[in-house]
Amino acid sequence: MTTEEQLAALFRKLGARNPEAWARSQIKEGIPQLLRFLFLREAWKHIVPDRDHSWMEAHVRSAQERPNDPYSGVGQAIGRCLDAGIDKDDLGDIVRGAQAELLFSLCYLLEDPNLQEPEVENSSWALFEIDPDGRPRRHIGGLHESVLETDPTGREMRPRRNRA
């Protein structure tokens, strides 16, 4: 059996801020916090990193090389923004914020599909831990509640204090 201290050490190793709180909640409340943290940590890896502009250049280059491919409009729009003198950090903040909002919305959607049509209004889905045979074990819920606290910058999507 894993102790709270062992679990906190694992959370710390995996990069969680406030690992003791995550571990305490899992042990005392029975919430699968390790799985929640891991899902969100991996999801954040798909959001553009703060102040990393390499994704912009990659999109622009890809759009120049293959202007009719899916998503090439993104690179074309980024190129126009940069040509117009828009600051790369500002453009990154816009994209990063929109992506984080989408992550929150998708995590909330896992909890509440809010289907309006009477024919499907009782339909639902969820994220589950599975056993080695692929059978659901524990529900991994409330992900939307931890999206901001798992922001890799630690700012919970708040603006940088110093823009320089």
**Does 4 map to a domain?**
no
* Structural domains in the chain (count): 1
Range of the domain at 57: 31-150
Higher pLDDT, 138 or 2: 138
pLDDT band of residue 52 (cuts 50, 70, 90) is: very high
Do the domain assignments include residue 18?
no
Q: Please report whether residue 2 resides in a domain.
A: no
pLDDT digits 0-9 by tens, 17-41:
999 999 999 999 999 999 999 999 9
pLDDT band per the 50, 70, 90 thresholds, residue 78: very high
For every residue of 73-135, which 3-state class applies, written as one string? HHHHHHHHHHHCCCCHHHHHHHHHHHHHHHHHHHHHHHHCCCCCCCCCCCCCCCCEEECCCCC
pLDDT of 133 higher than 90: yes
Residue 162, pLDDT > 90, answer: no
